[in-house]
Amino acid sequence: MKTVREVSYEILRQEAMTTIFGNPGSNELPFLQDFPSDFRYILGLHEGAVIGMADGYAQATGRPILVNLHSAAGTGNAMGGLANAWNAHSPLVVTSGQQIRAMVGVEALLTNIDATQLPRPLVKWSAEPARAEDVPLAMSRAIHLASLPAPGPVYLSIPYDDWSRPSDPESARLIGRRVTAAGLPDNATIAALIERIEGSTNPVIVLGPDVDAARANGHAVRLAERLNAPVWVAPSAPRCPFPTTHPLFRDLLPAGIAAISERLAGHDLVLVFGAPVFRYHQYDPGQFLPTGASLIAVTCDPDEAVRAPMGDAIVGDVGAILAALADRVAQSARPAPELRKLFAKLPVSTGSIQPRRVFDMIDDLAPSDAIYVNESTLTTADMWQRLRMDQPGSYYFAAAGGLGFAMPASIGIQLAEPDRQVIAVIGDGSANYSITSLWTAAQHDVPVIFVIMKNGIYGALQWFAGVLGANYVPGLEVPGIDFVSLAQGYGLSASRAETDAQFQQAFAAALQARMPTLIEVTTAAKEA
C-alpha cells in the first residue's frame, strides 16, 4: 500500500507541479526525504523570498505552484509576500509542517497553534486534515481551489508524521482528476453588454492585471481599435495588460478618487476589464465617476464585483469576454482620440543620473521582449512612460504594495520564462527586504539583471510625506549600503555605475553574459 507521501507526490506530478519553492524546517523533512529525481527544489534563504519567487513563477506560468514553509514561524515570515500573492490572484499551494499529532495537544515546540487561522484572511482556504488519510484529498482540493477563479493562495498545515502513514486506497481516484471553470456568460448577457457599448457616445477602457494573466492583451487591443477608445491602465497595476507603444494607450491611472474622475472626464461609459474598481491609495476625495458617466466592470473575482462602490459588474472569464466583445462589437465611426504624448529622451547626464535617463538607456539596449519587475516605487510613472512593454507578461509589480516582492519574484519569473530577459529595477530601500534572493539566483544560475536605483532614501515615502504634510519624519534615509559587495558576497557578478557610459557598458555586458548580474546605479534623489 502506498504511503500518504507517495500518493501526494503522484498528485503533484499529474498536475505538473514538479518545481517546489521552499525553506524547510524539521517539520518538513519527512515530506522531503527521498526527494523524487523528476522534481526540483528551489531553496530560498528566507520565507519572504520563497513566497516571492513562487509568486513570480505562478504569475508567469499561470499554473499552481507548491510552496514549502516551516510551521508558524516560517508562515509568519512569509505573510507579507502572501499579501501580494492574494492581491495578484496567484495560485499558490502553501504547505506548512505541523508538529507530530501526538504532540500537538501539549503545544510542543514548533506546534502551529490554530494553524488554519494563521494565514487568514490572505488565503482562499486554510485547512489541517483531520486524519493522515485525508492529506491527499486536502492536497487535491487545495490545487483545484487555488486555480479556480479568482485564483489565489491556499494553505495546508500537515502534521509531519502523516507522510509515512498508509494512504486510503481510494485516494488513487484523485490522481488526474480535473476541475474546470466555464466562465463565458450567456448570449443574452453578452448581447446586452454589446448594446450598452454600442450605445455609448464616448467610451473609455480601463484594463487591469487579470487581462494580462489571461493573456487577453490582443483581444483588448482589438476591442479598443473597434471602439476607437482610449485605454488607461488601472491604478497601481501589478501587470501590463496593453502595449505601451499603442496609439490608443494613455497611461497608468493615478490612485486617487478625484484624480481618476478628472482623467476620465468627458466619457459617458467606463469599461473596466480585469481590475478592482478601483484600488485607491492616497486620500483624494471626490466623485467616484465623472458627471454623466456609467461604469461596467468585467472581473473574475466575485469579491471585487460586490465591493465596488459604483457601476455594474459581470463575473466571468475576463479573456473569453474580451474576445467575444472584440469579435462582435461593431466598428465605430467616431474619430480616433488624440494620440498620446510621447516623452522625449533625456540628453547624456552631466551629474548624477536621473531615473528617467536610466529607463531611456534600458529601453535603448534591452531586447524588445524583455520582462520588467518593478520595485522602484517612486519612479513607477517614469517606467510606464519610457519603457516599451508590448508583449503579454512584460511587467510585474507588488499587487499589495508590500516591499520585498521584486527581487525574488524576478527569479521565479526568469525560471518560468527562460527565453526572455528579466530585468528587475529595484530601489535601494526596497532591495534590503529580500536581499538573500541573490543567493538563489547565483546557486541556480538564474540570469536576472538586477538594477539597483541607489539614491540613499526611501523616495516614495518622502513623496508621500509631502502629500500628507508630514514634516521632519525620521527613518527615511538609507545611506551607506554597498550593494556591489553584497551581491559579490552572494556569488553574483556586480558593478557600480555613476555615469551614462558606465551604465551602458555594464548593462550591455550583462545582456551578453546571460548570468545573474547586479548593477548599482547612483541616481539623483530628485528629478531635475
Q: What's the pLDDT at 454? A: 87
The full set of domains in the chain, from first to last, is 4-174 (3.40.50.970), 187-328 (3.40.50.1220), 355-522 (3.40.50.970)
Q: Indicate which residue of 281, 352, 444, 489 is catalytic.
A: 281
> Has 89 been annotated as catalytic?
no
Q: Indicate which residue of 401, 456, 489, 491 is catalytic.
A: 401
**Sheet of 40-43, strand order:** 40-43, 19-22, 65-69, 92-98, 154-159, 126-127
Q: Indicate which residue of 70, 144, 219, 267 is catalytic.
A: 70
Helical (H) or strand (E) element with 315: strand 312-315
Q: Indicate which residue of 26, 107, 351, 466 is catalytic.
A: 26
| Contact of 94 with 155, CB cutoff 8 Å | yes
Helix (H, G, I), strand (E, B) or coil at 146: helix
Q: Indicate which residue of 8, 10, 15, 28 is catalytic.
A: 28
| Contact of 160 with 100, CB cutoff 8 Å | yes
Q: What's the pLDDT at 134? A: 96
Interatomic CA distance for residues 358 and 345, integer angstroms:
10
> Has 475 been annotated as catalytic?
no
Judged on CB neighbours under 10 Å (0-12, 13-18, 19+), 348 is exposed
Q: Alpha helix locations (H) across 15-133?
A: 29-32, 47-61, 71-87, 101-104
Which residues of the chain carry a pLDDT beneath 70?
Answer: 341-342, 456-468, 470-473, 475-478, 525-528
Helical (H) or strand (E) element with 261: helix 257-263
**In Å, how far from its chain's centre is CA 415?**
15
Q: Indicate which residue of 10, 47, 304, 520 is catalytic.
A: 47
pLDDT (tens digit per residue) in 120-167: 999 999 999 999 999 999 999 999 999 999 999 999 999 999 999 999
Q: Indicate which residue of 8, 10, 22, 25 is catalytic.
A: 25
> Has 412 been annotated as catalytic?
no
> Has 281 been annotated as catalytic?
yes
pLDDT (tens digit per residue) in 4-48: 999 999 999 999 999 999 999 989 999 999 999 999 999 999 999
Q: What's the pLDDT at 465? A: 59
Interatomic CA distance for residues 339 and 102, integer angstroms:
68
> Has 47 been annotated as catalytic?
yes
